[in-house]
Structure 1
Amino acid sequence: MSKVKNYMMRSLNSVCQHDEVEGVIRLMHKIERSVLPVVDDENTFLGTIYIQNILKNIIPERYGFLDINKFIYERNQAAENLNNIKGKKVKDYMSKKVISVKEDESMDDMASIIIKNKESYLYVVNKEDKLRGYISRADLLYYLLEVGEEGDESRRD
């Protein structure tokens, strides 16, 4: 039976719950990610920080693209609001109710979790809930490709 640890990505960036929002925004921009895992000092997976969690705290309402004056006001207000929270800690904006998957779980179980929860990827932890990496829908497709190829080989014999 194929395990998550055989398909997961092991390299990823994470942040600590005590990191400042500004640093997280800069990191997200640099690595082109809109979500990052949050860990403690011992690499225990605590949750995630989504860019959306920050945005909903700084934008007073949706940008109004039809009225340029409203757009400029809201842009300036959002920038001012961000300036007010950029020194706050990740723990104030992170999501703690996050689904993860164990590295020793089967790929079939992982597939059920990722599809049922409409996630693009899941963070992978070990038995002690230490962050080990992540697994994506692309990894699921690769797994299914391999399963299909194994089936093709058995039909050829």
Structure 2
Amino acid sequence: MSLVKKYMMRTLNSVCANETVDQVIRIMYKIEASVLPIVDEDNRFLGTIYSENLLKNILPEQYGVIEMHKLLYEVNHAAQNLQEIKKRKIKEYMSPTTTAVQETDSMDNVAEIMLENEESRLYVVNHEEKLRGYISRADLLCYLLEMEEAEK
């Protein structure tokens, strides 16, 4: 039985729950990430912030529906809305129900969890719920490839 800790990525960026929206946006931009794990001061996993969560809170029209003739107005309005929330704590916009897996969990369970939650990555925690890394669909594919090769 293969464990998550064999396939997980241990290097990742995270943000603290008390960081502000503008700080997190700058981090996302700098590291080219649209999703980040949120941790407390002790590195305990609290949830996830998606850029989508922030966009939904600043776009004046229904998310994803911007008509071309209104684009300039919409962008200006979104910038004004962002101005109003940029100093708020990121924990106000996080998804606290993000599923995490234990580093000692079996890889056999990862595919089911990823598909049920429509996630391309799952964050990995230890027995103290401290963030240890993440596991992606690419890691899952590598595991499946190794399983297939082992059967030959």
TM-score range (shorter-chain normalised) is: over 0.9
SS at match of 1:47: strand
Q: Distance in 2 between matches of 1:81 and 1:147?
A: 50
Alignment length (residue pairs): 149
TM-score (norm 2): 0.95
Q: Distance in 2 between matches of 1:72 and 1:114?
A: 38
Out of 114-123 and 139-148, give the one that drifted further. Answer: 114-123
Segments of structure 1 that go 5 or more residues without pairing to the other structure are 153-157
How far 1:114 sits from its partner (Å)? 1.1
How far 1:95 sits from its partner (Å)? 0.9
How far 1:116 sits from its partner (Å)? 2.2
Aligned-partner residue type, residue 2 of structure 1: S
Deviations 1:31-60 (A, max 9, x none): 111110000000000001111111111111
Query: 1:126: which partner in 2?
Result: 126
Query: 1:142: which partner in 2?
Result: 142
RMSD across aligned positions (CA): 0.9
Query: 1:117: which partner in 2?
Result: 117
**Structure 1 stretches of 4+ moved >6 Å:** none
Q: Establish whether residue 59 from structure 1 lines up as the match of residue 62 from structure 2.
A: no
Q: Distance in 1 between matches of 2:118 and 2:20?
A: 29
Segments of structure 2 that go 5 or more residues without pairing to the other structure are none
SS at match of 1:55: helix
% identity of equivalent residues: 60
TM-score (norm 1): 0.92
